[in-house]
């Protein structure tokens, strides 16, 4: 059993801390936000992640998991310290390391013996070495000669399925400079190690690069199929079939080949820009990644154009918007295609009746500038009532089986923009809808 501290109770920190305690370790999660810590002690989970609440409450009850604002005792009492703070994008697209380096300083200030410092935040290549340098300089100021190791252990959690992703990862990446640190980390992930999860042991820079290269590749894969979809529409091909057949080739694999309105979220948009920046900074170009960023922006506008081409005029048209989050099973709207598409429709005079199972809270402030054009609804059918068109923007399960009999009854219109391709085109056309998917 390891004694673990996790600095930062955001998405990555909280999920990692909770599951590591579920693996049997003693974990303390630290945050500067007192309200958040108080809430967590009372079972209030600040993020939307299916299954997380049960794990947090259970492990807190059995005293394997605790929460504190007292960074000093959290560092002094534990040997493995995860840094899981945010790395928001700076103005130039690079990841802002400020919070990571503050955490490194805090660790060095309170270090009282050997510690393994684990970087879980997504950080630019070279950040592990920066953390090491900060810790060394503070230890030198303190005239303390404690030894420590820095480990890069990037996460591959998807929002909405983070628990499953943490408990059954495709691989665990451990970038480190000493065997001692690697062995301690193997103990931390013992449950996975004995389950034969592949472990990749490497140096800090390689581990950091693996994370960026993986996310950029997936973003590129989505963008590739989105561009194929756009061509399919013009030449009469069906992207769903194209993607399925491509995915049957083991070298390509079927996942992340769903055409849609463009990728969003807190990771792909940020990480693609950051990787392009890393490349430029060292005199290289990642032209595929640069193009992916641009093409993804274009894809969102193409969706607007698709709607305009079909409906001609949007002034005073009522449109039901089903889903605003960047994907299902999250309340997160960061970089969601809806943030571009809704204002564009509003600008052209459309009245938007919006329903999302979890996105209302964040949507309220994100769409505050177009509030006059938006009516929030309590369910899909309320949103559909008296509208000219339906737009499916996020593929929540509850939108997959809409009761089309009801459409006439409540006066929902015939235009149906299925931007996630969750319905079959022919069936929808047979039902009398003017159906538009992406690439079908
Ligand atoms: C992503 C990665 O999938 C995780 O492995 C990684 O750990 C995480 O970023 C991170 O860096 O923290 P996430 O952003 O939660 O996870 O969401 P994804 O499920 O990857 O979806 C991202 C976006 O791509 C969504 O907008 C989704 O709708 C879109 N997408 C995904 C498609 O348009 N088509 C697809 O086929 C797949």
Residue 216 to residue 233: CA distance in whole angstroms:
26
Least reliable range by pLDDT among 115-124, 221-230, 243-252:
115-124
Task: Determine the pLDDT at residue 39.
Answer: 97
Statement: residue 93 has pLDDT above 90: no
Confirm if 69 and 45 have CB atoms less than 8 A apart: no
Reading the block at residue 370, the tokens are 């177009």
The predicted pLDDT at position 143 comes to: 97
Ligand 1 center from residue 287 Cα (angstroms): 21
Query: Closest ligand 1 atom to the C-alpha of 261?
Result: 33
Domain 3-202 matching CATH 3.30.1360.70: the answer reads no
- Say if residues 322 and 253 touch (Cβ distance below 8 Å): no
Q: Which of 52, 121, 123, 268 to mutate to test the pocket of ligand 1 (most atoms within 8 A of CB)?
A: 268
Under 8 Å between Cβ of 66 and 116: no
Whether the predicted pLDDT of 279 surpasses 90? yes
Neighbour count for residue 372 (Cβ, 10 Å): 7
The answer to whether the CB of 165 falls within 8 A of the CB of 158 is yes
Residues near ligand 1 (Cβ within 6 A): 122, 155-159, 215, 218, 222, 256-258, 260, 263-265, 267-268, 326-327
Ligand 1 mean position, distance from CA 360 (Å): 21
- C-alpha dist (Å) from residue 347 to 320, 325, 341, 342: 16, 20, 10, 9
How far is 308 from 437, CA to CA, in rounded Å?
14
Q: What percent of the chain has pLDDT over 90?
A: 95
Mean pLDDT throughout 325-336? 96
* 197-to-18, 110, 164, 391 alpha-carbon distances in Å: 20, 34, 13, 41
List 82's β-bridge partners, or say none: 6, 118
d(C-alpha 310, C-alpha 118), whole Å: 52
Instruction: Note whether 219 and 272 are within 8 A (CB).
Output: yes
Q: Which atom of ligand 1 is nearest to the CA of 258?
A: 36
Pairing mode of beta strands 389-392, 374-376 = unpaired
| Averaged pLDDT, 192-218 | 96
- Which secondary structure element, helix H or strand E, spans residue 435, and what is its range? strand 434-436
The residue contributing the CA closest to ligand 1 atom 5 is 156
In contact, 86 and 66? CB cutoff 8 Å? no
Kindly give the number of the ligand 1 atom that is closest to the alpha carbon of 157: 7
CA of 249 to the centre of ligand 1 (A): 22
Among all residues, which ones are annotated catalytic?
267
The pair of structure tokens assigned to 42 is 């009372």
For the residues of 292-315, what is the DSSP string, one character each? HHHHHHHHHHHHHHHHHHHHS--T
Give me ligand 1 centre to Cα 215, in Å.
Answer: 8
pLDDT at 94 over 90: no
* C-alpha–C-alpha distance, residues 74 and 7, integer Å: 9
Could you tell me the distance, in angstroms and rounded to a whole number, from the CA of residue 424 to the centre of ligand 1?
24
The answer to whether the CB of 7 falls within 8 A of the CB of 103 is yes
Are 377 and 344 contacting, i.e. CB atoms less than 8 angstroms apart? no
Query: For 17, which DSSP code?
Result: H
Nearest Cα residue to atom 37 of ligand 1:
256
For residues 35-41, average pLDDT: 97
The beta-strand segments (E) located in 297-383 are 318-322, 351-355, 374-376
Mutate to test the pocket of ligand 1, among 157, 211, 264 (most ligand atoms within 8 A of CB): 157
Q: Which of 152, 154, 158 should be mutated for ligand 1, with most atoms under 8 A from CB?
A: 158
CATH 3.40.1010.10 applies to domain 204-440: no
Number of H helices, E strands in the chain: 18, 14
Q: Which two tokens stand for residue 190?
A: 């013992």
Give the number of the atom of ligand 1 that is nearest the alpha carbon of residue 266. Answer: 14
pLDDT-derived band at 88 (thresholds 50, 70, 90) equals confident
pLDDT mean across residues, the chain = 96
Closest residue (by CA) to atom 29 of ligand 1?
Answer: 263
**Closest ligand 1 atom to 326 CA:** 26
What gap in Å lies between CA 228 and CA 289, rounded to an integer? 17
Task: Identify the residue whose C-alpha is closest to ligand 1 atom 18.
Answer: 158
Average pLDDT over residues 262-285: 96
> Where do the structural domains in the chain lie, given as residue ranges?
3-202, 204-440
Strand partners, 148: 115
Give residue 45 CA to ligand 1 midpoint distance, Å: 22
The Cα–Cα gap between 122 and 88 comes to 10
What per-residue confidence (pLDDT) applies to 90? 83
Residue 343 CA to its chain's centroid (Å)? 23
Residue of the nearest CA to atom 6 in ligand 1? 156
Is the per-residue pLDDT at 236 higher than 80? yes
Q: What is the pLDDT of residues 47-79, one digit of tens each?
A: 999 999 999 999 999 999 999 999 999 999 999
Structure tokens at 148: 């420590």
Mean pLDDT of 236-242: 98
Mean pLDDT for the stretch of residues 107-117: 98
The pTM score is 0.95
Query: Which tokens in the block code for residue 143?
Result: 């005239």
Number of residues that make up the chain: 440
Cα(159) to centroid(ligand 1), Å: 8
Q: 338-396, pLDDT tens digit by residue?
A: 999 999 999 999 999 999 999 999 999 999 999 999 999 999 999 999 999 999 999 99
Q: For atom 17 of ligand 1, which residue has the closest CA? A: 158
Do domains 3-202 and 204-440 share one topology? The answer is yes
* Alpha-carbon span 276 to 290, nearest angstrom: 6
Ligand 1 pocket, mutate which of 217, 260, 299, 438 (most atoms under 8 A from CB): 260
Q: What is the pLDDT of residue 122?
A: 85
pLDDT at 7 over 80: yes
Contacts of residue 135, defined as CB under 8 A and 6 or more positions apart, other chains included, come to: 104, 105, 107, 108, 111, 117, 148, 150
How many other C-beta atoms can be found within 10 angstroms of the C-beta atom of residue 116?
Answer: 25
Q: Give the whole-angstrom CA distance, residue 56 versus residue 34.
A: 17
């Amino acid at each position: 059993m390891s004694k673990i501290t996790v600095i930062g109770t955001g998405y990555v920190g909280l999920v990692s801390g909770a599951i590591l305690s579920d693996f049997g370790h003693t974990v303390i999660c630290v945050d500067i936000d007192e309200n958040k810590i108080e809430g967590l002690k009372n079972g209030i989970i600040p993020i939307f992640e299916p299954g997380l609440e049960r794990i947090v409450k259970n492990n807190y009850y059995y005293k394997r998991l605790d929460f504190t604002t007292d960074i000093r005792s959290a560092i002094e009492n534990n040997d493995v310290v995860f840094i899981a703070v945010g790395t928001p994008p700076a103005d130039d697209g690079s990841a802002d390391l400020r919070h990571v380096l503050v955490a490194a300083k805090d660790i060095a200030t309170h270090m009282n013996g050997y510690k393994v410092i684990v970087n879980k935040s997504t950080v630019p290549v070279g950040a592990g070495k920066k953390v090491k340098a900060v810790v060394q300089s503070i230890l030198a100021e303190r005239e303390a000669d404690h030894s420590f190791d820095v480990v890069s252990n990037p996460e591959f959690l998807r929002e909405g399925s983070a628990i499953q992703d943490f408990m059954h990862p495709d691989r665990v990446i451990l970038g480190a400079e000493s065997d001692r640190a690697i062995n301690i980390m193997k103990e931390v992930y013992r449950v996975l190690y004995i389950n034969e999860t592949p472990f990749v042991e490497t140096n800090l820079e390689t581990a950091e690069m693996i994370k960026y290269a993986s996310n950029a590749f997936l973003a590129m894969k989505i963008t590739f199929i989105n561009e194929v979809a756009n061509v399919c529409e013009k030449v009469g091909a069906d992207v769903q079939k194209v993607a399925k057949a491509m995915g049957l080739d083991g070298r390509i694999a079927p996942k992340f080949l769903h055409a849609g309105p463009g990728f969003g979220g807190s990771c792909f948009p940020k990480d693609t820009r950051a990787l392009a920046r890393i490349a430029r900074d060292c005199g290289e170009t990642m032209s595929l990644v640069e193009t992916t960023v641009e093409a993804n922006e274009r894809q969102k506008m193409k969706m607007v154009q698709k709607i305009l081409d079909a409906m001609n005029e949007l002034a005073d048209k009522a449109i039901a918007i089903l889903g605003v989050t960047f994907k299902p099973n999250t309340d997160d709207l960061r970089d969601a295609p809806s943030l571009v598409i809704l204002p564009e429709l509003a600008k052209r005079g459309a009245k938007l009746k919006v329903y999302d199972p979890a996105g209302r809270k964040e949507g309220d402030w994100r769409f505050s500038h177009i509030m006059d054009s938006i009516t929030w609804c309590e369910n899909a059918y309320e949103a559909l009532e008296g509208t000219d068109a339906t737009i499916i923007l996020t593929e929540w399960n509850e939108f997959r089986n809409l009761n089309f009999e009801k459409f006439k009854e409540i006066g929902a219109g015939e235009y149906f923009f299925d931007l996630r391709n969750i319905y079959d085109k022919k069936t929808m056309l047979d039902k009398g809808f003017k159906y538009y998917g992406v690439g079908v």
